[in-house]
Structure 1
Amino acid sequence: MTTEFPAPAPGLRARKKQRTRDELLRAALELFTSQGYEETTVDEISEAVQVSQRTFFRHFSSKEDAAFRVQDLIESHFVTTVSGRPPGEAPLEAMRRAVLDAWNTVGEAIEALVPLELHMRTYQLIESTPSLLATHMRRSADLEEVLARVIAEREGLDVDEDPRPRLVVAAFSGVMRMTGRRWGAGNEATVESIREITAAYLDRFESALAADWHRG
C-alpha cells in the first residue's frame, strides 16, 4: 500500500521559496563583498546555500541581477513615493520630499532582505567595480527616464515635447549620485546617515544654481 502525503500548502511553499531567495541574495552579496564580484561564481553562491545552480537561476537571471536586487527595491520605492506626492507640489520639491520620505520607510524593507551594513558594502562594491558601475550608470539613466515621465504626467506635459521634466530630473539625479558616493565612502551604515546627507545636499542645491554664490 502506497501512502500519499498531502502537498504542502501554497503558503508554506511560497514562504520556502522566499526564504531560499533571501538566503541566496545574502550569500551572493557576502561573497561579492568579501572576495570580489568578478571572482565569485554562481556555483559558489549556490553551494553556500546548499542548493543547485538551477535553483539560483530560478530566482535570479544572473549575478548582476543579484547584485542590484536591493537597489531595485530602493528605486521602485522612490518612484512610487514620487507618484504619490500631492499634485500641487513643484517637481523639484516633490522629488525632494519623496526621497526623504522614502528613506524614512525603506530601511525596514532593506533589513527584511539583508542587513543595511551589507547593502552599504555592496554599494561600495558597485562604485568600485567597473562592470557594475557601468551597469549602475545605465540603470540611473533608465530611472531618470521613468521619473521624467512621472513628472511630466503630474504636470500635464508631453515629455517628448517639453524638455523641462528631463532637465529637472537630470539635475536632481546628479545630486543623488553625489549623495550616494558620499554615503558609500563613509563609515556610518544607517538610514539616518544617508537621510542627513541627502537633506544637506538638497538644501544646498538651490543655492548652487544661484548666479551669485557669495550671497549666503
Structure 2
Amino acid sequence: MRVGIVTIGDELLSGDTENTNATWLCDRLDDRGVEVRRITTIPDDVAEIARTVNEYYAEYDAVIVTGGLGPTHDDVTMEGVAAAFGRDLIDHPDAVAWFEKRDGYSASDLTDGTTHLPQGARLLENHSGVAPGAVVETVYVFPGVPSEMHAMFDRVAEEFTGSTRYAATVEADEPESALIDRLGELRDRFDVTVGSYPGETVRIKITADADSTAEEAATWLRDRVQSPE
C-alpha cells in the first residue's frame, strides 16, 4: 500500500508549530508495512488543498490529510477536500447526530462549520476533541491536534495494510563517506534496503522482507565496520 501525507497549516510553514504529526504517521504506517511515498506541507488555502489532494488521490492508494478542522476562519481543510472531489460541503447528518448524542452537548452548542463535511463522506468521530474527521473515497481527513489525530488514526489503522518488513540496526564509528563501498556490497549480497543516518556515530538501518535476511545482513556488516566502544 502506497500512501501520501498532506499536513496543513500556516503555523507549520512559519515554524510556529513543529510538524510532529508527519513523523508519527510515518512511524505507525511503517509498522504496518505501508510505504509512505510523499509528505507535503501546505497553507490554509482552499485551492492549494484541493489541488494537492487531487494530485495525491490520483497517485496513491490512500491519502492522509491532517490539520485545519474546526469552525475558525482558517479551518478550510474540509472545504478544500470537498472541492478536490467536486462535492458540496454540507451540514452532514451523521456529524450532527454524533455531536448531539455526546455527553454535555446539545444542538445549541453547534458552532458554524463544526458538522460540515463533504457530501457522501464517511464520518470519523473525534472522541478526544470537537471537530470530526472524514473519509472521502480513499482520502482520510484527521484533526491537526496530535492527541486527536492519534486517537482517530488508531480507530482506522486496520484499513492501512502492507507487507510486514523487518529491520536491524548497525552502529558504525566511521565517517559516512567511508562506508559507501561496504554499503554497496551489502546491497549486492542481500535483498535489503539500506538507510544511513549520521550523528555522533552512523546508524545504519537494514530492512528486509524476512527477519532472518535482515539479521544476516546486519551480522555481515557488523563484522566489517568499526563499532563504537
Task: Give yes or no for TM over 0.5.
Answer: no
Largest Rg, 1 or 2:
2
Bigger proportion of residues as helix: 1
Superposition TM-score, scaled by structure 1 size: 0.22
